[in-house]
Amino acid sequence: MAIIAGFAVPHPPLIIPEVGNGREKGIQATIDAYEEVGRRIAELAPDTIVVSSPHATLYRDYFHISPGRSARGDFSAYGASRARYQVEYDTELTAALERACERAGVSGGTGYEREPRLDHATMIPVHFVRHHYRDFRLVRIGLSGFNAGEHYRMGQLVQQTAARLGRRVVYIASGDLSHKLAADGPYGFAPEGPVFDERITRDFAAADFLDILCMDPGLAERAAECGLRSFQMMAGAFDRTAVTGELLSYEGPFGVGYGIAAFMPAGEEGADEGRALLAQWHDARTADLAARKAAEDPYVRLARASLEAWVRDGKRVWPDGAAILDATPEMMFDRAGCFVSLKIDGQLRGCIGTIAPTRSCLAEEICENAISACSHDPRFSPVREDELDELVYDVDVLGAPEDIASTDELDPARYGVIVSTRDGRRGLLLPDLDGVDTVDEQVRIAAQKGRIDLRWDDYSLQRFEVVRHL
């Protein structure tokens, strides 16, 4: 058996004594559990430890595997330059994993390295493992913007490559849980924070990797976690393997959730075809997309029809198709600005809109903005035909903007914001967006979109309400 154990661990820098300077005592349960992880790894005596890290080199469309023979790092960014670490890489496993990616059509390898130094999410587990065991080499893998299934596939390749080389591998999935557990914490509070942590720790204890794969990306984003994709990759490393889970500790005294869990193959062989989870995740995802599509209201159905006609045939459904597609009287006769937003697996895929009406009616506004969202958003390549069934749509119909005197009149859950300058620069942000929980965040992002410097530019604020159609 190639993957002889797995561990989910957090990476708070203050847990390193030179960084914490005594504050680490506030997470003593995490320290104790980390030491237990080190002891268990020493007993297993693996050849190689594979670490997936949210803070290694990360690309939206590529899994970066750290190249070279070794790497160093320190905690100088946290005022502790004397806390230094060096690891030796398993170059044979790294090279074989890169070839496996190429054969499997997974976008990953050792190219495009931006930062060779070790990141803190790798150094922290290394710190504790080395209290008990040093005779190992490391493979470090960054996460990506791909969906849960692709992270699982990358974990499968780790499993298969380790087996092919005869390596005894321990997998460490580095990742914090929610960063939004307390109003007085560094990242504030979001209701989704405790919900996410309760669910993920329950999944850890039960080794319920399918639920980890099926976690709502919107919930995860609002909880401001950083470990979910790391855990999903680890799940792939246990593909078709019977696994027992054990939650060693959980705490969040500083407003950030720290969970440590251990996963062990069950029995000598540990084979379990019932845990071929990639197909199960795919079926659940397909069913969820079908349910969402069936529940779409007329506004979203019109946006979808317009976008799909444009992508497939380069044709517009307006004006002849709108009535056929059950456009409501309000859509046909009212005028309003609107935004059409596209997501795939919770990740934005395009968003274009108009602050005020520019077309003959709202139906035409929706049709044109849907086309723009899929083909003219400069942040993304045009939507491909093979992506159409994966798209999830929002159509936001904007109310009239109103001037406000200060940010005290804003609420990011209720109001969108427009930041404007006298020379015509303007940035807009919609309300109730995943990951935008404070007025300051909302205004900053809107200003950034309008290339407005809030420190120096003379700017004004407006707010508006929206009706969101799903």
Sheet holding 426-429, edge to edge: 402-404, 459-464, 416-421, 426-429
Alpha helix positions (H), 334-422: 362-375
The percentage of residues in the chain with a pLDDT greater than 70, rounded to a whole number, is: 98
| Segment 72-94 mean pLDDT | 97
The domain 3-276 is classified under which CATH number: 3.40.830.10, 3.40.50.1980, 3.55.10.10, 3.10.150.10? 3.40.830.10
Specify the domain boundaries for CATH 3.30.1490.150 within the chain: 399-470
What is the pLDDT at residue 329? Answer: 87
| Segment 131-150 mean pLDDT | 97
Q: How confident is the model at residue 323 (pLDDT cuts 50, 70, 90)?
A: low
pLDDT at 345 over 80: yes
What is the pLDDT at residue 325? Answer: 65
Identify the bridge partners of residue 398 per DSSP, sorted by sequence position: 466
Fold of 399-470: Dna Ligase; domain 1 (3.30.1490)
- Amino acid (one-letter) located at 360: S
What is the pLDDT at residue 313? Answer: 94
In eight-state DSSP terms, residue 209 is: H
Identify the bridge partners of residue 341 per DSSP, sorted by sequence position: 351, 394
| Segment 345-364 mean pLDDT | 93
393-423 burial string, b = 16+ CB within 10 Å, else e?
bbbbbbeebeebeeeeebebeebbbbbbbee
Specify the domain boundaries for CATH 3.30.700.20 within the chain: 296-391
3-state secondary structure 181-197: ECCCCCCCECCHHHHHH
- What is the full DSSP assignment across 105-126? T--EES---S--SPPHHHHHHH
Burial of 296 (0-12, 13-18, 19+ CB in 10 A): middle
* CA within 13 Å, CB half, 168: 11
What is the pLDDT at residue 324? Answer: 56
pLDDT at 443 over 60: yes
Residue predicted with more confidence, 178 or 329: 178
CATH architecture of 296-391: 2-Layer Sandwich (3.30)
What is the pLDDT at residue 436? Answer: 86
CA distance 467 to 465: 7
Specify the domain boundaries for CATH 3.40.830.10 within the chain: 3-276
| Segment 356-368 mean pLDDT | 94
**pLDDT tens string 208-237:** 999 999 999 989 999 999 999 999 999 999
- Amino acid (one-letter) located at 190: A
CA distance 444 to 423: 19
**pLDDT tens string 186-206:** 888 999 999 999 999 999 999
Q: How confident is the model at residue 434 (pLDDT cuts 50, 70, 90)?
A: confident
What is the pLDDT at residue 273? Answer: 87
Q: Which of these, 448, 405, 451, lies nearest to 425 by C-alpha position?
A: 451
* Whole-number average pLDDT of the chain: 94
Q: Which residues contact 393 (CB under 8 A, 6 or more apart)?
A: 296, 300, 303, 304, 340, 341, 342, 370, 470
